[in-house]
């Protein structure tokens, strides 16, 4: 039975103005399981205007920083109640392992609690001035309406790093989830409703890139756009945001390198690389999809990884013993197959996997390891967003860094070595917003993340994220009591 969801605008759940809807398919079964409103331009306009009114005239405009912090902590409390429900919705919609979505749902409460505690700690400053100069103050103020767009992978988690700091800073939000998987975000709107946020502070619109996304990022009342997704869509977002001169941050994809030196601990390497590329079926912007192995350890690491990849249990994402679920979309599977075929035809060698996992239904793909004798293969240059690992060989530290840097992406990376000095030099030399030494994929909501180049710009996470949702204002106050000098009399 198909579940019919609604959008959330101005404190109420609603359908699209023209009644149009679109379906979502369970990637593990290839069956339609949910339906969502296809927002019109008028629907998006209504949501943005509701957010704008809440920011300028509604109760939120008069809410103190401490009260905003309490609201975020109420959200955290509500999340603790419904975490299991959110995780089931996300797994059904995306194929992400239930074990992982359960953990992420639990971690969500911590993120909102963290930013709730920071809400009243956004401070200004008083620059030093001379004895006869006006008092000079720098204050931080919220921007206004934030248009946030999140992808289907880890959507609740990624959305939290936009919603929480934006609300803590005093902004209001219109959030658009991916049309590929919107269920968890719409379910989350119920959490926000239960937390008692004023009408219009938080809104969710569902639909495709046009008109829904296009209208949102170009709306004249949207002051900041926060986008997470792919490079091609990001180019459209940049173009559309020119209409309203909105501030913009982009958290995009990656082709992250993992460098393994001869002196690395083998168990750490195998576990770290497995986590880097096969966790979440490789559907992560931080996935370590380029493995660079030094000559002396190349064969040994390959042998261990091939065995490990062959043992991975691929199957039902709802089952606790499953280690890797399906890809989220048929389109992603088709892209992987095309780029992999082109790379093999050009000389790349498949060492493990390479095809669809043997199941009757679902967009499953095998854990795949491919040896590449250079970086010009399509699968090495392009983000596949799946469980496919490109393996390259290097001689020394200089070559490892050169290979790692040779990419249009710069989101994340990793290095394994017992020589901390060498590992640290490597971490500093490779462009990335996040880098791991002798581990991979561990995270902390107090740490920033983001990229450069085709991986985007701007940072999310940590206390600095609140500052990114504010702007500074300089205030000068003459406290001397003396009359204002005649501007035409030079002294």
- Provide the annotated active-site residues: 251
Q: Are 188 and 148 in contact (CB under 8 A)?
A: no
CA angle 248, 250, 252 (to 5 degrees): 170
Q: Which residue has the tokens 């969801």?
A: 5
| Residues 306, 196: Cα–Cα separation, whole Å | 51
The number of beta carbons lying within 10 Å of the beta carbon of residue 29 is 16
| Residues 3, 23: Cα–Cα separation, whole Å | 10
What is the 3-state composition of the chain as percent helix, strand, coil, each rounded to the nearest 5? 40, 20, 40
Q: What is the rounded (10 degree) CA torsion for 66, 70, 75, 79?
A: 130
CA angle 189, 190, 196 (to 5 degrees): 95
Give per-residue burial for 50-75: e unless 16+ CB within 10 Å, then b: bbbbbbeebebeebebeebbbbbbbb
182: Cα separation from own chain's centroid: 15
Q: Please name the residues in contact with 171: beta carbons below 8 A apart, sequence gap of 6 or more.
A: 55, 142, 143, 144, 145, 146, 224, 469
| Residues 378, 368: Cα–Cα separation, whole Å | 15
| Residues 297, 293: Cα–Cα separation, whole Å | 7
451: Cα separation from own chain's centroid: 11
DSSP category for residue 100: H
Report helix, strand or coil for 91.
helix
Q: Please name the residues in contact with 103: beta carbons below 8 A apart, sequence gap of 6 or more.
A: none
């Amino acid at each position: 039975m198909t579940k019919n969801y609604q959008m959330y605008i101005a404190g109420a759940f609603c359908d699209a103005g023209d009644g149009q809807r679109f379906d979502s398919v369970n990637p593990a079964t290839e069956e339609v399981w949910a339906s969502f409103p296809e927002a019109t331009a008028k629907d998006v306009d209504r949501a943005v205007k509701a957010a704008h009114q809440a920011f300028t005239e509604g109760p939120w405009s008069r809410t103190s920083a401490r009260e905003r912090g309490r609201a975020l902590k109420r959200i955290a409390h509500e999340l603790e109640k419904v975490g299991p429900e959110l995780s089931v919705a996300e797994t059904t919609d995306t194929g992400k392992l239930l074990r992982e979505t359960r953990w992420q749902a639990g971690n969500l409460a911590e993120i909102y609690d963290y930013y709730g505690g920071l809400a009243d700690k956004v401070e200004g400053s008083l620059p030093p001035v001379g004895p006869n100069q006006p008092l000079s103050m720098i204050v931080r103020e919220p921007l206004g309406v934030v248009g946030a767009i999140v992808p289907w992978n880890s959507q609740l988690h990624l959305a939290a790093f936009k919603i929480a700091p934006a609300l803590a800073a005093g902004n209001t939000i219109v959030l658009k989830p991916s049309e590929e998987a919107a269920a968890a975000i719409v379910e989350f709107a119920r959490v926000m409703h239960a937390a008692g946020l004023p009408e219009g502070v938080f809104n969710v619109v569902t639909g495709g890139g046009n008109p829904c996304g296009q209208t949102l990022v170009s709306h004249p009342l949207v002051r900041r756009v926060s986008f997470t997704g792919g490079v091609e869509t990001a180019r459209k977002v940049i173009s559309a945001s020119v209409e309203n001169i909105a501030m913009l941050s982009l958290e995009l994809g990656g082709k992250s390198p993992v460098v393994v030196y001869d002196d690395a601990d083998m168990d750490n390497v195998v576990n770290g690389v497995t986590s880097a590329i096969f966790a979440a079926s490789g559907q992560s912007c931080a996935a370590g999809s380029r493995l660079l192995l030094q000559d002396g350890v190349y064969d040994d690491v390959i042998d261990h990884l091939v065995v490990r990849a062959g043992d991975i249990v691929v199957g039902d994402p709802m089952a606790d013993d499953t280690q890797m679920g399906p890809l989220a979309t048929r389109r992603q599977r088709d892209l992987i197959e095309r780029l992999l075929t082109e790379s093999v035809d050009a000389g790349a060698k498949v060492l493990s996997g390479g095809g669809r996992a043997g199941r009757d239904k679902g967009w499953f793909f095998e854990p795949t390891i491919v040896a590449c004798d250079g970086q010009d293969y399509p699968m090495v240059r392009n983000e596949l967003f799946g469980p496919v690992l490109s393996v390259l060989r290097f001689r020394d530290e200089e070559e490892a860094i050169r290979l790692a840097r040779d990419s249009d992406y710069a989101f994340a990376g990793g290095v394994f070595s017992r020589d901390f000095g060498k590992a640290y030099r490597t971490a500093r030399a490779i462009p990335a917003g996040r880098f791991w030494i002798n581990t991979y994929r561990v995270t902390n909501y107090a740490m920033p993340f983001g990229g450069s180049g085709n991986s985007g710009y701007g940072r999310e996470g940590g206390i600095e994220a609140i500052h990114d949702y504010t702007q500074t204002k300089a205030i000068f106050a003459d406290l001397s009591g003396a009359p204002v000098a005649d501007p035409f009399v030079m002294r």
